[in-house]
Amino acid sequence: MKYSVDKKEQYTLVKLEEEKLDASVAPELKSELITMHAEGVKNLILDMADVKYTDSSGLSALLVGNRIFREDDGMFVLSSLGDHVMKLIKISQLDSVLTIMPTAEEAVDTVFLNQIENDLNKESENDNGLD
C-alpha cells in the first residue's frame, strides 16, 4: 500500500496513494490505522484524492478507522473523495456515519473546531461540577 503521512500536533494527515481501495489494500490500511491509533494519534484525516474505486472491504477499513478514533473523542475525517467512492458511501448510507469533507484543508478545520468544542465542553463540565 502506498501512502504518505504528515504528522502535526493536533492531527495526522494520511494521503492514500492508491487508485483502488479494495481487498488487496484494505487489510493493510486497517492495520495501519490501528497502529497509528495505538501510537497515540488522536485525530486522523484520510485524504483519498487518488482513490478512484472502493469496494466493501475498503468501506470496512474506513469504518474500523472511524470507530477506533472516535472511541477516544478523536476524529476520523475523510477528504477529497472521488465520485465513485462518494456514491458507494451514500448508497451504503455511511455518509451519516462518516465525517466527510471536500478538501484536506476543510478536514483540518473540522478537526480544530472539534477540538475547541471538546475543550469547551470539558470546561463547562468542570465548572458545573464545582457549584
Strands 43-47 and 53-54: unpaired
pTM for the predicted model, two decimal places: 0.92
**CB 21 within 8 Å of CB 53:** yes
Domain boundaries, the chain: 3-126
3-state SS class at 122? helix
pLDDT in tens, the chain (131 residues): 999 999 999 999 999 999 999 999 999 999 999 999 999 999 999 999 999 999 999 999 999 999 999 998 899 999 999 999 999 999 999 999 999 999 999 999 999 999 898 888 888 888 776 54
27: CB partners within 8 A, 6+ apart: 57, 61
**What homologous superfamily is domain 3-126 in, according to CATH?**
STAS domain (3.30.750.24)
3-state SS class at 88? helix
